[in-house]
Structure 1
Amino acid sequence: MFGLIRIGVYLVSGLTAWQFFQGDADGINSLHKQLALDPARGMLFGVCAGVSDYTGIDVSLIRLAWALLALYRGAGIVLYILAFLIMPSIN
């Protein structure tokens, strides 16, 4: 259990660092990205599509990871609903 939490924290921190240092040579575009819902490309509410736009990772991989997280004690379902309520819409 604690191993899964540790792996999740490492992945999130690594992804955050990767997103911070990725981008233009001066790094301006990477600092001005906004995490937002993308209902035009989304299947339900656009949470996975918004995360995909923000990170640059394929939306299918984001959906697969979220589905696997949903199978683990329903954590993915709670996080999906929470992300839908917190994230602003692109429109």
Structure 2
Amino acid sequence: MLWLIRAGAYLVSGLTIWQFAHGGAGIGSILAAHKPLTLDPDHSMIFGVCAGLSNFTGMDVTLIRLIWVILAFYRGIGIGLYLLAFLIMPVKG
């Protein structure tokens, strides 16, 4: 249960930093400026989750993959989140 509270705190703090980095723009205007969140099998290494997330956020795909690997080594959370994202995200097309 404690890990869920910790994950929520990380998510809220990450979104706060993201909003600050984008000049205080509302989250709706930030999300409207990007492509929809979909899997990107054309630029994928495994399933296309990191490439799709890179297209959605505009961040470098290498940085996103590095974050996933760090989360995978941290109690295996990254593996579970990766599989969950693969199951939830629609295929680009």
Q: Common fold, TM-score beyond 0.5?
A: yes
Residue matched to 1:60: 62
CA distance in 2, matches of 1:71, 1:31: 33
Is the 1:21–1:30 Cα contact (8 Å) retained in structure 2?
no
Is the 1:70–1:76 Cα contact (8 Å) retained in structure 2?
yes
Aligned-residue sequence identity (percent) comes to 47
CA distance in 2, matches of 1:90, 1:21: 27
* Gap runs ≥5 in structure 1: none
CA distance in 2, matches of 1:45, 1:64: 16
* SS of alignment partner, residue 73 of structure 1: coil
Residue matched to 1:11: 14
* Gap runs ≥5 in structure 2: none
1:31 aligns with 2:32: yes
CA distance in 1, matches of 2:61, 2:86: 16
Name the amino acid aligned to 2:13.
Y
Aligned alpha-carbon RMSD (Å): 2.7
Decide which of 40, 43, 53 is 1:41's aligned counterpart. Answer: 43
Report how far residue 30 of structure 1 moved: 4.3
CA distance in 1, matches of 2:31, 2:82: 24
**Structure 1: 4+ residue segments shifted above 6 A:** none
* SS of alignment partner, residue 41 of structure 2: coil
Aligned residues: 84
TM-score, with normalisation over the residues of structure 1? 0.75
TM-score, with normalisation over the residues of structure 2? 0.74
